[in-house]
Amino acid sequence: MPDLTSKILEAVARPSYIPVKPKVLAKRLNITDAAGYAAFRQTIRALVRDGRLEVVGGSALRAADLYGSVVGTFRRTNSGMCFVRPTVPTADTGPDIRVREGKTLDASSGDEVLVKLSRKESRGGFSAGEVVRVMQRATRTFVGTYFERDGEAFVKIDGTQFAHSIGVGDPGAKGAKAQDKVVIEMLRFPAGEETRGEGVIAEVLGPLSQPGVDTLSVVRAFGLPEVFPEAVLAEARAQADAFRDDDLEGRTDFTGDCVVTIDPVDARDFDDAVSVTIDPVTQHYVLTVHIADVAHFARLGSALDGEARKRATSVYLPQKVIPMFPEVISNGLASLQEGKLRYVKTVQIELTPTLQKADVRFFNGAIRVRKRFAYEQVRDLLAGTDPGTPVTDEVRELVTRMAGLAVAMRKKRMKRGALELSMPEAVLEYDGDGRVSGAHFAVNDLSHQMVEEFMLVANEAVAENFAANKLNFLRRVHPAPKDEKLEAFAQFADVLGYPMQRATDRFELQRVLNATASRPERAAIHFSLLRSLKQASYSPVQDEHYALASTHYCHFTSPIRRYPDLSVHRQLDRWIRNGNAQGDLAELKQLGDHCSKMERRAEQAERELVKLKLLQYLATRVGEKLDAVITGVADYGFFAQAEQFPAEGLVHVSSLADDYYTYDEASQSLYGGRTKKRYRLGDRVRVQVARIDLPKRMLDLRLTPDQPEQAERPKKPKKRWD
pLDDT tens per residue, range 479-526? 999 898 899 899 889 888 899 999 999 999 999 999 998 887 888 889
Q: What is the mean pLDDT of residues 621-641?
A: 92
Q: What is the pLDDT of residue 10?
A: 83
State residue 220 phi and psi, 5-degree precision: -70, -40
Q: If residue 565 lies in a helix (H) or strand (E), which one and from where to where?
A: helix 563-578
Kindly indicate the confidence band of residue 49, based on its pLDDT and cuts at 50, 70 and 90: confident
**Does residue 51 surpass a pLDDT of 90?**
no
Nearest of 619, 620, 652 to residue 636 by alpha carbon: 652
Q: Which of 212-221, 676-685, 711-720 has the lowest mean pLDDT?
A: 711-720
Q: What is the pLDDT of residue 193?
A: 66
Give the Cβ contact number of residue 676 at 10 Å: 8
Q: What is the pLDDT of residues 534-581, one digit of tens each?
A: 999 999 999 999 999 999 999 999 999 999 999 999 999 999 999 888
Supply the pLDDT for residue 236. Answer: 97
Convert the pLDDT of each residue in 177-196 to its tens digit: 999 999 999 999 988 766 78
Higher pLDDT, 85 or 424: 85
**What is the three-class DSSP state of 495?**
helix
Task: Determine how β-strand 82-86 pairs with β-strand 648-652.
Answer: unpaired
Residue 710 has pLDDT above 90, yes or no: no
CB burial of 421-460 (b: ≥16 within 10 Å; e: otherwise) equals eeeeebebeeeeeeebeebeeeeeebbbebbebbbbbbbb
Q: Is the pLDDT of residue 52 over 80?
A: no
In the predicted model, is pLDDT for residue 89 greater than 80? Answer: no
Q: Select the highest-mean-pLDDT range: 243-247, 338-342, 426-430.
A: 338-342
Residue 298 CA to residue 300 CA, distance in Å, equals 6
C-alpha to C-alpha distance for 2 and 709, rounded to whole angstroms: 57
Percent of residues, the chain, with pLDDT higher than 90:
66
Domains in the chain, CATH or no CATH each: 2-64 (1.10.10.10), 67-136 (2.40.50.140), 141-207 (2.40.50), 230-477+544-606 (no CATH), 483-533 (no CATH), 621-703 (2.40.50.140)
Residue 91 has pLDDT above 90, yes or no: no
CA distance 301 to 320: 28
CB 665 within 8 A of CB 680: no
Q: What is the predicted pLDDT for the residue at 632?
A: 87
Residues 6+ apart with CB under 8 A from 274: 259, 260, 261, 262, 287, 288, 289, 290, 402, 451, 454
DSSP 8-state class, residue 189? -
Averaged confidence pLDDT in the chain: 90
Q: What is the mean pLDDT of residues 135-160?
A: 92
pLDDT class for 128, splitting at 50, 70, 90?
A: confident
Between 344 and 519, whose confidence is greater? 344
Q: What is the pLDDT of residue 719?
A: 39
User: What pLDDT is recorded for position 281?
Assistant: 93
Contact 566, 308 (CB under 8 A): yes
pLDDT of residue 267: 87
Q: Name the 3-class secondary structure at 115.
A: strand
Q: What is the 8-class DSSP label of residue 338?
A: B
pLDDT at 395: 97
SS (H, E, C) 240-307: HHHCCCCCCCCCEECCCCCCEEEECCCCCCCCEEEEEEECCCCCCEEEEEEEECHHHCCCCCCHHHHH
Report how far residue 670's alpha carbon sits from residue 662's, in angstroms, rounded to the nearest whole number. 5
Residue 518 has a pLDDT of 83
| pLDDT surpasses 80 at 156 | yes
Distances 641 to 128, 599, 687, 713 between C-alpha atoms, Å: 33, 26, 10, 19
**Maximum distance among all Cα pairs of the chain, rounded to whole angstroms:** 86
**Range scoring the smallest mean pLDDT among 12-26, 239-253, 498-512, 702-716:** 702-716
Mean pLDDT of 319-323: 94
pLDDT-derived band at 715 (thresholds 50, 70, 90) equals low
What is residue 722's predicted lDDT score, i.e. its pLDDT? 29
Q: Which residue did the predictor score with more confidence, 495 or 88?
A: 495
Q: State the virtual CA torsion across 202, 204, 208, 211 in degrees, nearest 10.
A: -120
Over 90: is that where the pLDDT of 80 sits? no
- Contact between 362 and 287 (Cβ < 8 Å): no
Q: What is the DSSP string of 362-417?
A: EEEEEEEBSEEEEHHHHHHHHHTS--SS---HHHHHHHHHHHHHHHHHHHHHHHTT
* Length, in residues, of the chain: 722
According to the model, what pLDDT value does residue 721 have?
27
The percent of the chain in helix, strand and coil, each rounded to the nearest 5, is: 30, 30, 40
The average pLDDT across 230-242 equals 96
d(CA 540, CA 524): 34
E strand segments, 534-575: 537-539
- Taking only the tens place, the pLDDT of each residue in 426-483 is 899 998 888 899 998 888 899 999 999 999 999 999 999 999 999 999 999 999 998 9
pLDDT confidence of residue 666: 80
Query: Residue 173's pLDDT is what?
Result: 74
